[in-house]
Amino acid sequence: MSLRIPRVRTRLSDLAEQAGVSTATVSRVLNGKPGVASETRHAVLAALDVLGYERPQALRGRSAGLVGLLVPELTNPVFPAFAQAIESLLSERGYTPLLCTQEPGGTTEDEYVDTLVDHSVDGIVFISGLHADTRADHSRYEVLRSRGIPIVLVNGYAEGIDAPFVSPDDAASVDLAVRHLVSLGHERIGLAIGPERYVPARRKVEAFVAMLVEHGLAKDAAEARTDHVVSTLYTLEGGQAAAAELVQSGHTAIVCGSDLMALGAVRAARSRGLRVPEDVSVVGYDDAPLIAFTDPPLTTVRQPVEAMARAVVSALLSEIAGDRAPRTELLFAPELVVRGSTGTAPRAPR
């Protein structure tokens, strides 16, 4: 006795509702007819994938080319968000993205690059790569450029590399966080940040120190750096360790270099019997997916992922087409998102 596998019919109405278009548009896409905008076509293909339909053979066109996408790791939710945004935009334009993720002890950036070059990629995007490490040898990127491979570098700037740079404005993010906490009456504000060898961390520290001096919360830069900044790792455990030190020294508010660090700071406060935000206010950075649903919902500085992704893809495709993209660093303005992890400074005991 043989089993008969039922065939699932593709319902145009379901696809149209999911994609937000008409059934006639869905029909045109499925039949490969012209006259449909690339964004609309992508929405219909995404609807097919989301609803679990297999794409018709006619829609499996040849890729316009391969693009490598290197991210440091996927444990920090902001990196998958970047990868998804960039991959989606590349796919809309017919390119096939190849995602390369790193973790301690795993495949290195250089090893990934060698593999991508062997696969004749049309370009490579580096997110928070070695270009952001002030101690790293940046000549590796010049080698790629000398071989005619277009690259775009995200989140970190290095003088002398012949490539477009796209970054969030780290100084502005700290400015937003500190001004918010000062407006709530906090006078002991600390910074929990990652290793200062990386450009984003260094920029945040420099801005933070300047802000404390400007607001009279430290007599000079040396005091601000020594008494109010703790450098650790961009992890939950790193944030917890840094916050424990800052809380111990009397800080009532903590600015963190990532949302993961901020969650660690909340844990550190609670482990000492302190409440967030009644006793300690915490500000994160990134506004990663689901961060609004933490307990308490996290006040954070939103990194403009979607806008940055569009700039990255635009610059890379310009380079691939032979048009030189601007070499000045494109800085994108962050946004303060106030939620439940910040509040007025606690009153000093009498």
Per-residue confidence (pLDDT) for residue 3, from 0 to 100: 44
Amino acid in position 125: V
Q: Is 199 exposed, middle or buried (0-12, 13-18, 19+ CB in 10 A)?
A: buried
Between the alpha carbon of residue 91 and those of residues 45, 48, 84, 166, 251, the distances in Å are: 10, 15, 10, 20, 47
Question: In angstroms, rounded to a whole number, what is the distance separating the alpha carbons of residues 342 and 297?
Answer: 9
pLDDT at residue 63 tops 70: no
**Can you identify the CATH homologous superfamily of domain 12-59?**
lambda repressor-like DNA-binding domains (1.10.260.40)
pLDDT at residue 62 tops 70: no
Coil, helix or strand at residue 153: strand
Per-residue confidence (pLDDT) for residue 333, from 0 to 100: 97
Q: Are strands 330-332 and 165-168 parallel, antiparallel or unpaired?
A: parallel
Between the alpha carbon of residue 167 and those of residues 19, 84, 200, 323, the distances in Å are: 31, 17, 9, 21
Look up the CATH number of domain 65-168+305-332. Answer: 3.40.50.2300
pLDDT at residue 87 tops 90: yes
Mean pLDDT value across residues 126-155: 95
Scanning the structure block, which residue is given the tokens 């020294």? 249
Query: So what's the architecture of 170-303 in CATH?
Result: 3-Layer(aba) Sandwich (3.40)
Coil, helix or strand at residue 105: coil
User: Where does CATH 3.40.50.2300 sit in the chain?
Assistant: 65-168+305-332, 170-303
User: Where does CATH 1.10.260.40 sit in the chain?
Assistant: 12-59
Confidence band of 58 (pLDDT split at 50, 70, 90): low
For the whole model, what pTM was predicted? 0.84
List, for residues 181-198, the tens digit of each pLDDT value.
999 999 999 999 999 999
